[in-house]
Amino acid sequence: MKLSYYFIDAEAPPLQDNTEIDVDGGKKLDIFDINEGAGLDLFEGDIILADTNQRNSIIGDRYRWPIPVPYFLEDSLEINAKALVLEAFERYRLKTCIDFKPWEGEPNYISVFKDSGCYSYVGNLRQGKQQLSLGVNCDRIATIQHEFLHALGFWHEQSRADRDDYVTIVWDRILPGREHNFNVYDDTRSNSLNVPYDYTSVMHYSKTAFQNGSEPTIVTKIDAFSDVIGQRMDFSDYDLEKLNRLYNCSSSISFMDSCTFEYNNICGMIQGTGDNSDWNHVLLSAAGPSNDHTHLGNCKDSGYYMHFSTSTGNAGDKALLESRLFYPKRGFQCLEFFYYYNGNENDALNIWIREYTEASPNGTLTFITSIKGNPAEYWQLHHVSLNVKNKFRVVFEGVKGNGPSNGGFAIDDINFSEALCPHYIWHIRNFTHESIKENGRIYSPPLYSKDGYAYQVQVRPNGPADSPYDLAIYFHLISGANDDTLQWPCSLRQAKMELMDQNPDIRKRMSNQRSITTDPTQVASNGDLFWDKPAKVGTSVTFPNGTQFFRGPGYGTSAFISHDRLHSRDFLKGGDAFFLLSVEDVSHLSASQPTPVPTTTTKPPVTDIPSPTKPGPDVPKECEGFGCKNDGVCVLENEKPVCRCKVTKDWWYVGDKCERKVSSQDTLVIAVSSSVTIFAVMLIITLTSVLCLKKKHKKQIAKAGKAQTTENAYTF
């Protein structure tokens, strides 16, 4: 649902007891700040080493995880963190071939739990239960992506061999004893996968990492990237390129299509049949927008879009534009596109699905939704939720309505994925202008969750006096029509607030997201339950139309995004901002994840640094000291320990303790040797038989000759 309405509240009355909770305490907390605050001294700030040699040997296929990666969410993990882990998995699925599945007894899996700080091991160590910690303040989606990238096999960006060509480490500004976190490792220890150095990587330290004072410890050799390093928003393009190369990805899991209409093939779309008009592929239309949404007129000879004009023709005229065929795998999809609607209010843009089944080989059209009634001279964003199970096409139908028109419909920047759509789009026009309002607060329209809770989102373009160049965001429950029938306090609803990067390709976006989850036991400073009914704990305020309501206390962060980062991507394309908002019931995550019976057990890893916890599954007593070698796994058969030896395509281990390695080449040599030996033996046997037969044959000939001579003698 699209919402362009909002109001400015520069003199908002204070909430009861001035309650507004900043979960970050007004600080920009990075992973390393969190771990330092928790008293952790880990390798490179957030890495647990399995043994003293691991940093030298992470390169190699044996450190990759099988796909899908098994995971287990421990009960200690906070509900907000659990939901964000699942959300992070969706980002992996959208942009890579990496998938995840609940652990079902596989010998190796990632166990996500809450400990002090945020940390992970690097790569698949093949040692059973491999822990990844998401402690207090680690429940940020990019932090979770960062830690899982470690688990998938990645080190920090600034530790790569060519680091010093791109950044300067200012050693005398580093906290004493933390200098080792800035070591560089050569190509035998880490692999850049032939991808250029990446200032924008989610795996890069920030410029203030481990600083002793206020000056940066990392200075970029290109000044423009000084405030870019250390971003915790999303994967960068090079992060994705490296991950896809490491795991040999050729496509992503949930992505379906992206189209900017820049090429004449219009992304494989076709003009439908049975209509009496057409969509036109144009660079400019007298009846349409003056530029496309992709480039906003900034690129010469680029900026195409599709346009259906309603300025001519008759009422009822229509044009069908049909997508290429799609083959769904997940059963749910999200269609996203930008549209420009400047025709008559009776014109309509209808979305249909043409679904193909055995019973309908030519496809059956199903109406989904319609856009009409509110023409506007600017580009708008729209989402359509779908649940298609069979092969299908998306159909855009433009229809001319009654009445005069000087415009029509244009569409651009289509993205299609097998994912869930956000519930609402909050479109703030001219956000750049609003951001200069001193102490201004921008509130969203009143919104409703699927189960009936009313809420608003507040954005403060300028932060407090001590951090004026940060944008703040807060979530508020407000009084609504369903309050008397709802459960209070509001329990375990997760609010997702995302500032959308308007890159035309959804895979290349680095949107900034923050999520909070309502805790029914949380108490405000005045003793009230924080998430109780707004009429009880909130403040009376008034909508612009004069309607009074109650707004509950706010919960969010004053350090949502800095002004520098706000302008570093397409967050404010054409000056407009889009916030994607959703509230979901996540109470089901309070239940424990089912625990399978492990098919194998292994020894826990040995760490060479103080580890906050001891990862690793329990080992049966019978296997203790049994001593399987070469990554062999001890299992019980008939209550007796035996070794299951490691096997790959090209080599494997054999023996009671997996002590001997055998390769396919060895087998080939043995096979060839055996064949040669057998051939030689057979040859000897054959030659011997021939010689014996030859001698026997000579004797027979000699006897025959002698008999013939005697007979002849008697004849003469």
User: d(Cα 203, Cα 513) in Å, to the nearest integer?
Assistant: 17
DSSP 392: E
Nearest alpha-carbon partner for 471 in 428, 521, 503 = 428
Q: Is 501 annotated as a binding residue?
A: no
350, β-bridge pairs: 370, 397
Q: Is 180 annotated as a binding residue?
A: no
Greatest extent of the chain over all pairs of C-alpha atoms, in Å? 153
CB atoms within 10 A of CB 596: 14
Q: Is 46 annotated as a binding residue?
A: yes
| 116 burial level (CB within 10 Å; 0-12, 13-18, 19+) | middle
415, β-bridge pairs: 258, 336
Residue 250 CA: distances (Å) to CA of 246, 391, 415: 11, 22, 19
Q: Is 150 annotated as a binding residue?
A: yes
Q: Under 8 Å CB-to-CB from 36, ≥6 apart: which residues?
A: 45, 210
Sequence-ordered alpha helix ranges (H) in 160-274? 237-246
∠ Cα 79 81 86 (to 5°)? 100
Instruction: Answer for the pair 651, 663: CB distance below 8 angstroms, yes or no.
Output: yes
DSSP symbols for 136-189: TT---HHHHHHHHHHHHT---GGGSTTGGGTEEE-GGGBPTT-GGGG----TTT
| 250 burial level (CB within 10 Å; 0-12, 13-18, 19+) | exposed
Torsion angle, alpha carbons of 362, 364, 368, 372, to 10: 70
For the annotated catalytic residues, the residue numbers are 147
Show binding-site residues for Zn(2+): 46, 146, 150, 156
Residue ranges for the known binding site are: 46, 146, 150, 156
